[in-house]
Amino acid sequence: MNGLIVPPGQGRKLITKAQEVTFKVTEAHGAFASVFEVVVPPGFDVGAHAHGRSEEFFYVLEGELDVFAFEPIKRTQERWQDWESPAGDRVVRAGAGSCMFVPSGCPHAFTNPTDKPARMLFQSYPTPDHERYFEELCEIFSDGRVVNSHAVQQLRDRYDVSQITPLRYGPTALTPLSRTPIGTKFTEEQRTERSPL
């Protein structure tokens, strides 16, 4: 059996309205975990969520992300950025070289609160759950201008994603449209105000 070397910029790439994901190591390579390089645009918020069986590892390669991985004192439905654990853990601004391990069952999230894209290495166990999740999410995003929130929820249910706060994406400017939940419908005028991702 041989190993695998993937040069910079190589790997199968999926580009959605909200993220750019490059598959680096997959089930097809005999891997125990899937490995991806993810470009996180300004304003993207994956939303707090947990997995019943998956474990994940995140490593910031470039830029900054706000991250957390703990059970909060109180879960709120709209925002996770103010959460605190019983031990006093809070959200961390993670720069290049920072990493986060997420065991199964642990609430976690990341967001890019800056005006520059961030890049991270993301590893998910077991394979190929997140590979299929990203593939199907890309299909949902490519279906039209408005994302079908029901289809996204069905996808999450299939792939062990228990969403706690909404997934959001958009510019980081402080406008009513800047942190909009997926599936929100906009007028034509509002659509032109949003920066394309």
Domain locations along the chain: 12-193
pLDDT at 190: 35
Low-confidence ranges of the chain (pLDDT < 50): 172-197
- Looking from the CA of 116 toward its CB, the CA atoms found within 13 Å total 6
Q: Which pLDDT score, from 0 to 100, does residue 191 have?
A: 32
* CATH number belonging to domain 12-193: 2.60.120.10
What would the pLDDT profile of 59-96 be if each residue is shown by its tens digit?
A: 999 999 999 999 999 999 999 999 999 999 999 999 99
Q: Tell me the β-bridge partners of 12.
A: 23
Instruction: Give the integer Cα–Cα distance in Å for 42 and 51.
Output: 25
Determine the Cα–Cα distance for residues 151 and 137; give it in Å rounded to an integer. 9
Q: What's the pLDDT at 24?
A: 97
**Beta-carbon-side half-sphere exposure of residue 59 (alpha carbons within 13 Å):** 8
The whole-angstrom separation of Cα 191 and Cα 70 is 35
Within 13 A of 102's CA, how many CA atoms are on the CB side? 28
The structure's pTM equals 0.83
Q: What is the pLDDT of residue 51?
A: 97
Between CA 108 and CA 16 the distance in angstroms is 22
pLDDT value of residue 152: 85
- Give residue 117's pLDDT: 96
Residue 133 near residue 27, CB atoms below 8 Å: no
